[in-house]
Structure 1
Amino acid sequence: MFPTLFLLLAILDGQAPAGDDVDSTLKQGQEAEVEEIIISGRRRTPGFLLSRSSLNLEDIPESQIGIARNVGDLMDQVPGVHLQRTSYGQVSPFLRGLTGFRTLALIDGIRLNNSTFRSGPNQYISLVDPWMLESAEIILGPGSVLHGSDAAGGLIHMTSRIPRPGDGLGESSSFLQRLSSAEKSSISRYEYSAVTDDHAIGFGFSYRDYGDFTAGGDEGEQPETGYQEWSGNFSWVQDLGDDFSFEIVAQSHRQEDVPRTHSTIFGSTWEGLTTGSDLQRDLDGERDLLYLRWQKKHGPESASRLTVSRQQIADEEDRVRSSGVRRLQGVTTEALGVSWDWFGYSDLGPLSSGVEWTHEGIDSFFRQYDSLGNLDSVRPRGPVADDSTYDWVGAYAQQVLEVSDDWTLNLGVRGTWAQVDAEKVDPDPSDTEIFDPVKEDWSSVVGSIRAIHDVDKDMRIYGGLSQAFRAPNLSDLTRFDAASSGDAEIPASDLDPEKFLTAEIGAIFETGSSEFESVIWVSSLDQLIVRFPTGDVNSDGDTIVTKANSGEGLAHGWDFRFRSELENDVLLTGAASWVTGDLETPVSPGVIEEAPLSRLAPTLVRLSLEKRFSDRFRLSGVVTTADRQDRLSPRDLSDTQRIPVGGTPGYVVLDLHATYLWQQDLEFFASLTNLTDEAYRIHGSGTNEPGANLILGFDIQF
């Protein structure tokens, strides 16, 4: 009944989710051995989702869900995922040392990523309501063949909770309420569904109100950190007969006045951090998604799916500089997409394939007002080039070969073509510095090969090679906007695509009631697009930066997880992750130095112990430790609003969680997080974490 998180390490021939046979059949054909984690959404999924990688099921204890207030909080509990928070409403997950546009986020198989995503951490995954999700798959390592050539660090695939015909007949409603002391937050969620044998309707609404939170230690209340957001969703699924179905899904999300506090005079001075000079810097965010989907089963082992979608993402920044000058700017991206997926069998075994097309239209604006509120200037463009388009076409195929009873080989290939057309690149055509229009296209073919060997019934080893390719996007080529703390970015039109090659080898071992997994990986990074200072300063005193392709780089790491069911209904889980990497980085015009990757995650270890006292009551404790991170890139060293001089201190945090099922349809939950009131922040973030915090809530169905 209450939200459950799943770390899924499932066998390839596991049971598929009930209620969506076509999706299940398609997924079975796409399974490929990579390290994957699945987070389930608000209620336990009937059956187990299939993993692309591993042997066994691992649950994050059900009692721990109460700490999650957004998608980022869910992912922060996952080993191998490093979560950066510019603010609590602006989170960006790092997967294997990469983030932003080098990881790919999907919602119901539709790209959340678009061509305006900027370099480094961005906030757009925060425009997804976690309480409307059925699950979120986190695939560590390239997911390029099946999902998109730009999924270099990994893939986050979020799946909406959609009622299906015949699945729990009748009408039902639910209401969830969550309150938090240190966060000073309130979250409310209402859902309704009506299900018959041939159709199902569902809708939901969420509202969140966040106050100025209280940080740990002596930091106290953090001013100008509160904001509001709300979201809604609707779905209708119709069974058309003959194994044919149609669905229409709509989602809408709004964020209002989300502060970027670190760049303002209200920023923290913890551990010697410097504050910004802005008097205000708030962002509004919007996401609207509408898609139509037709699904058809062509027999017990073949299925296809056609999806037509429209997604609009918009953000607007309201920034007041120290002089009182106010700047309003924003970007709206409308993405129209069509995709077709098919799964069946060839003479060699399971075969999956598909084609995808996305067309983006981008509008942007910029207006500046003087300190008295009078309109001072209007640029012909905003943060990225106005009246621009970006087109993306992909086609993929994957063949699974059962070489023998204990050897499986997965071969995949994807072709990608991308084109940008940007006319209004120059922010000021009247000055002497000219920025020409940009029209370019790129194409590439990437592949993957993976082998899985069942050594015996208790042990499996796997390994493989995967490529990824990311074409320069509109932000790379045309951005004229603030970058990192105290930086101002200018366009760079002469850029080449980024290329990645990742090798990994892992093993999964089971003994008795315990399961273990360990994986080692290494990624070759070639021609990464990185920022560097030009040596100039603008009229606001900001360092002007531009972009160039880097030289070669290498990232590598290790992940470990275990799960052990002890006596007396006690569950012990643990995880550890380590990542490092270096890159030949331009540090000034014509000068390249080898330096660490930006915002490398520290070594992380997490242990959890849960006791189930009965079917109604669960209690768990979690300890999380992070090492000091002092391997800093040149841009990290200059980002003193977010990273203390000398690096981000390590920390040890203890949390307690409990759930109690009072009646069949009413569950209470409670958490005590950061029990020792530790003052800490996740490396690279623009804000500290809350101090000692009490979370209370309930989930009722009626």
Structure 2
Amino acid sequence: MQKIVFIIVLFLFQGITGQEIVILDEEDHQPIPNVMVYNWDKSRTTLSDFDGKCDLSRFDQGERITFSHIGYQNFRSTKAHMLRKGKLYLALNAEQLDEVVMSISKWEQQKKDIPQKIALINAKTIDFTAPQTSADLLQNSGKVFVQKSQLGGGSPMIRGFATNRLLLTVDGVRMNNAIFRGGNIQNVISIDPFSIKSTEVIFGPGSVIYGSDAIGGVMNFYTNNPQFSKTDSLNFSGKGNYRYSSANNENTFHLDFNLGKKEWAFLSSVTYNEFADLKMGSHGPSSYLRNSYVVTENGQDELRENQNSQKQLPSGYDQINLMQKVVFKPNNNWNVNLSAYYSETSDYSRYDRLIRPSKDGLGLRSAEWFYGPQKWFMGNLQFYKNGKGKFYDGLKISTAYQKFEESRNDRGFQDPIRYMTKENVDAISTNIDFENKRIGNLRLYYGGEYVFNKIGSIGNEYNVEILALSPSASRYPDNSTWQTLAGYISGELSAKPNFTFLSGLRYSHVWIDAVFDQTFYTFPFNDADLSTGALTGSIGFSWFPKADLQLTVNGSTGFRAPNIDDVGKIFDSEPGSVVVPNPELEPEYAYNLEVGIQKNFNDKLMLKGAAFYTYLVDAMVRRDFQFNGSNEIDYNGELSNVQAIQNAAKAYVYGFEFGLDAFLTESLSVNSNLTLTNGIEEEQDGTDTPGRHVAPTFGDFHLIWKKQKLKTDLFVNFNGEISYDDMAMSEKTKEYIYAVDADGNPYSPSWYTLNLRSQYQFSHALKVTANLENITDQRYRSYSSGIVAPGINLILGVGYTF
């Protein structure tokens, strides 16, 4: 009798386990949890578990069932057919309108409800494109233009704005500090692309949520989070990566590992990059070649011929990135996250300054010009609480400390004096954000922010002949401070199932306190004491007049308050010109309108378009100035024209952005982006000049083939021309970085590259990448960039998950 019972139980157990299938992602074969499975009238439903396993026992054998998940295409089949296959691979939607974004309100919202354009770059895309730095990560999206003054850099341009008119955040913490400059900035390279889970780029003003600087856009980088164990045992996992790039003999090593229990989880990550000198392409303007460079031997500077004029000497550098996260989750309502990030580069040359010709045009102006190590540390403690509160349904509290360190070192050819400045910023920030969704179809988001920056700045002169160090003028007023206090409220109203309305307001107040040292320069003022406020707002809607058609309209304002770089900097902005402090600055304001349209043709073709217009008043721009009644002063031994940042212009920028996604077959798809931008700065005397950070027309076209474990991407990147007449005045003085037109004037030529990416998944654990970029070996320099882009470039990568 017992034997019969055992046989029956065993039969039933086999019958149950034989009813399971596994649901996996078509691209990376990762399990997909929470796939909803239902019959025709949804009278029977089930969900896949964390491991992608799904029990179909509640359905009849011949019953037709549907598999549905946000972000994936629906799949329909019979139960019997699925059980024979055992596995189901789901494909991503043509356009994931139901994707969740965090950037607009700092809380999860569906992308389809957002009236602003947002570009999402997920971990799969980052892994496939294999960017060297996070600047390359943005550029690879095809939607963000990136300028580079040197190999160790990358300054994004979005909708005609750049540098301190764009905002960077890491895990919700503001990275912009009080010395972010109007010139090109390189801080984005401090963010390790191997640690990034996703990146969200907001196009247009984001001042309602993020305050000052968010005029042209916001770039939010979200890093990987520790994973908890689903059982009582310890969960251990990790990943190792290696990447090689032939254009600069890159060697990159990455390792991360995760330890997880039910309530505790730890994630450690380390990446080391070694970049040698970058080699440019063979076909392009000869003026880009590096024909000579300076070598210092026995204390003497010598101009030496470059044996390989395509090699950009010196441009290489090293970098290390570290990240440690600890998460404690005592229950489903509370989550405490402690994170630490550290990035440090070696010294690296500012290449565009090293190729400046001397005054007589026969040699080079500088013997050396390099940045000291760029260091960034952030410690971030975040508390999350879910559940019904008296005034909220969700609460986030974030307190962060950041330390920035950078230095500049330059010495003229055969000049014994090396001029050195060193800066550091201590930044403290506290954010408190609430979500409340209790008022019918209205969701409210509100909160406050406080940021405090303290700047340390010193200057020195070092005599390389007698090895003597002496003090000199600092770049910024030492011990100056910048702080802001703000509060905001925004709302999302689902007026109808197909119509969502969003609006918000923010008030920010900014204080600057800086005392100027009179030791080296006799300033006509003693300090800069600024106190100013700004009210910004946004209003917009997302409307689906048909299920396959989306229309969006968004109006918003943004502002940028002066920072320490604006009011207190002393710096040679270009050969023969020096920027001096101006404590009389006022904030600049932007008014923006954006209209978007998106059409889905049977999940086979998706067309997207957006038009935008931004008007900037009281624009802070660098213009000629007087210092103590004089147009010229002596700076580092050279008589230089005086300039200062002034509220001297108005500006307007407008343009169009287009996108296309086409799924030709199950394996073959097409993706393309195109951005056209125009911008004008209007001077006080009524004259117009082209905007400095208005990128040329740029875009890409991708032909993507995916089959089982292999993915390939044959694509073209292209940039339009910027003629001499359409070039900003500040760019026209940099003849040494541009090609020469038929009239002998500098201009930025158009260019294109043909590229091939491929990735093969040998197993769940092992993945190999082989990319060939710039196949035709074009020699090109992106607009406003000092360094020439890589020539033909073989990239090899291997990743192993354990």
The TM-score normalised by the length of structure 1 is 0.90
Kindly provide the amino acid, as one letter, of the partner of residue 488 in structure 2: Y
Q: Is the CA contact 1:296–1:304 (under 8 Å) kept in the aligned structure 2?
A: yes
Q: Is the CA contact 1:29–1:343 (under 8 Å) kept in the aligned structure 2?
A: no
3-state secondary structure, aligned to 2:315: coil
CA distance in 2, matches of 1:236, 1:76: 31
Kindly provide the amino acid, as one letter, of the partner of residue 132 in structure 1: S
1:23-73 C-alpha deviation (Å, 9 max, x unpaired): 9992239963210001123xx4xxxxxxxxxxxxxxx6x78513x100011
* 2:115 equivalent to 1:33: yes
* 2:312 equivalent to 1:222: yes
3-state secondary structure, aligned to 1:476: helix
Kindly provide the amino acid, as one letter, of the partner of residue 28 in structure 1: Q
CA distance in 2, matches of 1:131, 1:431: 46
* 2:687 equivalent to 1:598: no
Partner of 1:296: 385
* Aligned counterparts, 1:396-407, within 5 A: 396-407=488-499
Q: Bigger shift: 103-112 or 362-371?
A: 362-371
Call closer, same or farther: CA 1:121–1:592 in 2, change over 3 Å: farther
Call closer, same or farther: CA 1:29–1:673 in 2, change over 3 Å: closer
Partner of 1:638: 733
Partner of 2:70: none
Partner of 1:510: 600
Kindly state the Cα deviation for residue 242 of structure 1 after the two structures are TM-superposed. 4.9
Kindly provide the amino acid, as one letter, of the partner of residue 403 in structure 1: A
Partner of 1:416: 508
CA distance in 2, matches of 1:437, 1:540: 26
Q: Is the CA contact 1:64–1:620 (under 8 Å) kept in the aligned structure 2?
A: no
Call closer, same or farther: CA 1:394–1:671 in 2, change over 3 Å: same
Match of 2:548 among 445, 458, 461: 458
* Aligned counterparts, 1:370-409, within 5 A: 370-375=463-468, 377-379=470-472, 382-409=474-501
Partner of 2:632: 536
Q: Bigger shift: 297-306 or 239-248?
A: 297-306
CA distance in 2, matches of 1:676, 1:90: 25
Identity of aligned residues (%): 21
Q: Is the CA contact 1:657–1:670 (under 8 Å) kept in the aligned structure 2?
A: yes
* 2:530 equivalent to 1:436: no
Call closer, same or farther: CA 1:543–1:287 in 2, change over 3 Å: same
Call closer, same or farther: CA 1:575–1:186 in 2, change over 3 Å: same
Kindly state the Cα deviation for residue 601 of structure 1 after the two structures are TM-superposed. 0.8
Call closer, same or farther: CA 1:554–1:573 in 2, change over 3 Å: same
Call closer, same or farther: CA 1:665–1:485 in 2, change over 3 Å: farther
* 2:674 equivalent to 1:576: yes
Q: Is the CA contact 1:435–1:491 (under 8 Å) kept in the aligned structure 2?
A: no
Kindly provide the amino acid, as one letter, of the partner of residue 776 in structure 2: T
Kindly state the Cα deviation for residue 679 of structure 1 after the two structures are TM-superposed. 0.6
Match of 1:278 among 357, 361, 366: 366
Partner of 2:3: none
CA distance in 2, matches of 1:90, 1:355: 33
Partner of 1:364: 457
CA distance in 2, matches of 1:669, 1:365: 46
Kindly state the Cα deviation for residue 78 of structure 1 after the two structures are TM-superposed. 2.3
1:426-451 C-alpha deviation (Å, 9 max, x unpaired): 4x436544342111111011100001
Aligned residues: 665
Call closer, same or farther: CA 1:432–1:8 in 2, change over 3 Å: farther
Kindly state the Cα deviation for residue 617 of structure 1 after the two structures are TM-superposed. 1.1
CA distance in 2, matches of 1:228, 1:268: 28
CA distance in 2, matches of 1:133, 1:76: 15
Match of 1:470 among 549, 560, 566: 560
Kindly state the Cα deviation for residue 407 of structure 1 after the two structures are TM-superposed. 2.2
Structure 2: segments with no counterpart, 5+ residues: 1-26, 31-91, 284-288, 290-309, 626-630, 740-744
Match of 1:688 among 760, 781, 788: 788
Q: Is the CA contact 1:187–1:209 (under 8 Å) kept in the aligned structure 2?
A: yes
Q: Bigger shift: 92-101 or 74-83?
A: 74-83
Q: Is the CA contact 1:248–1:292 (under 8 Å) kept in the aligned structure 2?
A: yes
Partner of 1:189: 254
3-state secondary structure, aligned to 1:179: strand
Q: Is the CA contact 1:201–1:237 (under 8 Å) kept in the aligned structure 2?
A: yes
CA distance in 1, matches of 2:313, 2:138: 26
Kindly state the Cα deviation for residue 593 of structure 1 after the two structures are TM-superposed. 2.8
1:226-271 C-alpha deviation (Å, 9 max, x unpaired): 111111010000012251111100000001111101112x5699xx
Match of 1:151 among 204, 211, 214: 214
3-state secondary structure, aligned to 2:352: helix
1:291-336 C-alpha deviation (Å, 9 max, x unpaired): 1111100149921111111011110122222213111211100111
Kindly state the Cα deviation for residue 221 of structure 1 after the two structures are TM-superposed. 0.8
CA distance in 1, matches of 2:229, 2:165: 40
Match of 1:620 among 709, 713, 736: 713
Structure 1: segments with no counterpart, 5+ residues: 45-59
Kindly state the Cα deviation for residue 544 of structure 1 after the two structures are TM-superposed. 3.1
Partner of 2:750: 650
Q: Is the CA contact 1:63–1:618 (under 8 Å) kept in the aligned structure 2?
A: no
Partner of 1:56: none
When the two chains are superposed, the root-mean-square deviation of aligned CA atoms in Å is: 2.7
3-state secondary structure, aligned to 1:483: strand
Q: Is the CA contact 2:95–2:606 (under 8 Å) kept in the aligned structure 1?
A: no
Which of 1 and 2 has greater Rg? 2
Call closer, same or farther: CA 1:548–1:25 in 2, change over 3 Å: closer
CA distance in 2, matches of 1:24, 1:147: 10
